[in-house]
């Protein structure tokens, strides 16, 4: 566990104490787990009788919650945690972009308050559908809202940084097909290359490490941005082989 994750865990504990004092009658469980890309995540399970989750969420915001992905649902809705999200906007807003959250909550989660619901968190039956949803969402959302938007505005450096993160997210998602969910953001590209092999993705990994490492002397910002887009598009095309 990193120092950042440890600090987030302390914040999550403090938040849970405050929130329970305000809304214990509406709550079933609060679970925290470490999580790659964001440092941590929360699962807040409300009682079945709660009709409007947004009202309980409003109470939570008065208790200074940590700024990490938070899943809100009722006990009977735990199964929804294993459903692939096709909306990348919602997916990234909710989870930081990495869909391995049920693995971390079930296996690394800590109950901060209430019932231990971890055993009821289902794992995805077919991780290929998760990767398929990630690729499909990226093709629709990122092409129109990220690639084209930033290229037209000439926000080249910002685009390259965003695409570097997207590549790591796609690699981490692809590793779920091999049962690998305990990944670290700093090393995910190396593990991806080991698992998928140099013959399959070696050229892309090599070029990605060069482009995303930073601009070299005389490197045109626009050219670097267009090459970063090419890397992402090529990676998605190759990953689609594993879900078709």
DSSP code per residue over 220-233: -HHHHHHHHHHHHH
Specify whether the CB–CB gap between 36 and 132 falls below 8 A: no
Each as own residue / partner, the long-range contacts of residues 55-61 (CB below 8 Å, 24 or more positions apart, any chain) are 56/23, 56/26, 56/27, 59/19, 59/22, 59/23, 59/26, 60/15, 60/19, 60/23
Residue-wise pLDDT tens digits, 17-50: 999 999 999 999 999 999 888 889 999 999 999 9
What percent of the chain has a predicted confidence (pLDDT) above 70?
91
Q: Output the pLDDT for position 101.
A: 87
**What's the predicted TM-score (pTM) here?**
0.88
Q: What's the chain's average pLDDT?
A: 88
In the DSSP assignment, the letter for residue 215 is P
What topology does CATH give the domain 3-120? Beta Polymerase; domain 2 (3.30.460)
What percent of the chain has a predicted confidence (pLDDT) above 90?
60
Each as own residue / partner, the long-range contacts of residues 154-162 (CB below 8 Å, 24 or more positions apart, any chain) are 154/222, 156/221, 156/222, 156/224, 156/225, 157/221, 157/225, 159/225, 159/228, 159/229, 160/211, 160/212, 160/224, 160/225, 160/228
Query: Distance (Å, rounded) from C-alpha 36 to C-alpha 108?
Result: 12
Residue-wise pLDDT tens digits, 87-145: 444 445 444 567 888 999 999 999 999 999 999 999 988 999 989 988 887 777 777 77
Model confidence at 16: pLDDT above 70: yes
């Amino acid at each position: 566990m990193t120092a950042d994750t440890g600090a987030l865990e302390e914040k999550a504990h403090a938040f849970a104490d405050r929130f329970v004092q305000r809304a214990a009658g509406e709550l079933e469980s609060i679970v925290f787990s470490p999580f790659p890309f964001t440092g941590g995540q929360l699962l807040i399970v409300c009682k079945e009788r709660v009709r409007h989750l947004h009202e309980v969420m409003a109470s939570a915001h008065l208790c200074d919650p940590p700024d990490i992905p938070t899943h809100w649902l009722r006990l009977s809705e735990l199964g929804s945690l294993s459903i692939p999200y096709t909306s990348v906007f919602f997916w990234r807003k909710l989870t930081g972009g990495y869909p391995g959250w049920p693995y971390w909550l079930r296996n690394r989660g800590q109950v901060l308050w209430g019932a231990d619901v971890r055993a009821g968190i289902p794992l995805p039956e077919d991780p290929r559908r998760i990767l398929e949803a990630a690729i499909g969402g990226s093709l629709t959302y990122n092409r129109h809202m990220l690639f084209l938007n930033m290229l037209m505005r000439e926000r080249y450096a910002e685009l390259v940084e965003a695409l570097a993160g997207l590549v790591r997210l796609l690699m981490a998602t692809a590793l779920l097909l091999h049962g690998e969910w305990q990944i670290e953001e700093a090393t995910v590209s190396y593990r991806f290359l080991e698992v998928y092999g140099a013959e399959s993705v070696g050229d892309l990994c090599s070029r990605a490490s060069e482009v995303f490492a930073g601009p070299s002397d005389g490197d045109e910002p626009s050219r670097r941005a267009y090459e970063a887009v090419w890397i992402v598009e090529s990676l998605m095309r190759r990953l689609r082989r594993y879900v078709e």
